[in-house]
Amino acid sequence: MDIAVIGVHHRLASIEIREAVSFTDRQKMETISHFLDHGIREVVILSTCNRSEIYILTDQLEVKINLIKIFFQTFSGIDQMERYLFVKINEEAIEHLFKVSAGLDSLVLGEDQILGQVKTAHEFAMKMGSSQKIFNQLFRQGITTAKNIKTTTKMSEQPLSISYIAIKFLKQKVGALTEKAILVVGTGEMSRLALNYLKEEEVKTIYLANRDASKSYDLRQQCEKIVVLAYEQRYDILPKVDFVLSATAAPHFIFKADSIPKIKKQLIMMDLALPRDIDPVLSKWEQIELYDLDGLQTIQDHHAHKRKELTKSAFTMIQNK
C-alpha cells in the first residue's frame, strides 16, 4: 500500500483554477464514494480557499493517480488541467500533510485556520468510512504535530490571517478607519476574524449581512458598532459604505455587476471567498477597487519575515517525525 496526495494549491494555480476544483460537501461525498468504488482503500479530501487536495491510500498507485488526474480534468472542465496538479508520494505526501496542517504551506505563513480545516476534512472522511486505521493515525499525528509546532515556535503570537492582512491593507490605503463604514457579508471564521480586527481599529460602523440573520444578531452582542442588515439589502447599502468585505460559502457570485447601484465615491471591495463572492468584472469599474485572494497574496506584511524565521524550527520538527 502507498500513500499519495494529488491536487492544486495557490502557488501552482490561479484563483480561477482553484475555484473550478472547489468541493461542496455533497461533491466530497460523491467523489469519496466514487474512489472507494474504484478500489482506493482510504480517501480524505481537503478543499479550502487555497487548495483542493485528495489524499489516498491504495495499491496500484500509478493507476489510481491517473484515475484522480482524469477526475480533476472532468470535474474542472479545464483543458490541460494536469499541468496545474501536483503529486506527492509516501514520505513526501506525509511531509506535505504535516506542513499544510501547521500552516507552513499557506498563503499566509503559519496561519491558524488551516489546522481546523484539516481536522474537519479528516472528520468528514471518518464519517464517510473513508479514513480508517492508517489515515486516522496519520491525520491525528499531523494535527498533533501542528499543535506542537505552534506551541513550541509561538508562531500564533503573530496574529496573521487573510482577514488580518485585508484589514491592515485597508488601513494602509486610507489611514485611520475610525470614520469609515464597512459592509461585512458572511458570519464564518473569515468574517469573525475580520470583525475582531475592525473592532480593534475602531471602525465607525460595521454593517453585517448574512443569509441567516440570527447569526448576525449573535455577533451583534459582541460589538455595539455592528448594524445587522437584511441580506437582501446588501446592494442598497453600497453607496453608503467605504469598504466591502465578503466571505461567504455561496457557490455563486453574491455581488453581480448588473445589480450594483450607482456609486459616486470610491469603493474598495475585498473578496475573501472561494468560490468568489464578487463578480470580477467589477475590477474594471472606475469607482471600484476589487481585491481577491490572489491579489492579497502580493500584499506584504511586516510580520512575515519574523514568521519565516520561526518556521525553520518547525521544518526540523516535521522531518524528525
Summarize pLDDT for 77-125 with one digit per residue, the tens.
999 999 999 999 999 999 999 999 998 888 777 777 899 999 999 999 9
Burial 94-114 (b: 16+ CB within 10 A, else e): bbbbbbbbbbbbbbbbbbbbb
Q: Is the pTM of this model over 0.75?
A: yes
Residues 82 and 96 grouped into a single domain:
yes
CB 133 within 8 A of CB 139: no
49 classed as catalytic = yes
Rounded CA-CA distance 112/101 in Å is 9
Same domain, 258 and 193: yes
- Note whether 59 and 204 are same-domain residues: no
Is there a domain that residue 302 lies in? no
Q: Considering 49, 226, 238, 282, which one is annotated as catalytic?
A: 49
C-alpha cell at 42: 482510504
Q: Same structural domain for residues 152 and 172? A: no
Q: Residue 303: pLDDT band by 50, 70, 90 thresholds?
A: very low
Structural domain boundaries, residue 185 = 162-297
DSSP 255: B
Per-residue pLDDT band for 319 (boundaries 50, 70, 90) equals low
Number of independent structural domains in the chain: 2
Give tens-digit pLDDT for 45-89: 999 999 999 999 999 999 999 999 999 999 999 999 999 999 999
User: Three cell numbers at 242?
Assistant: 467605504
127 plus 97 within the same structural domain: yes
- Residue 85: CB partners within 8 Å, gap ≥ 6? 6, 7, 8, 12, 69, 72
- Same domain for 107 and 199, yes or no, is no
Share of the chain above pLDDT 70, in %: 90
Say if residue 44 is in the same domain as residue 124.
Answer: yes
CATH number of the structural domain spanning residue 247: 3.40.50.720
Q: Is residue 308 part of a domain?
A: no
CA distance 66 to 61: 9
Residue 3 backbone phi and psi in degrees, to 5: -110, 140
Q: Is residue 90 part of a domain?
A: yes
Residue 304 in any domain: the answer is: no
- For residue 318, the tally of other CB atoms under 10 A from its CB is 20
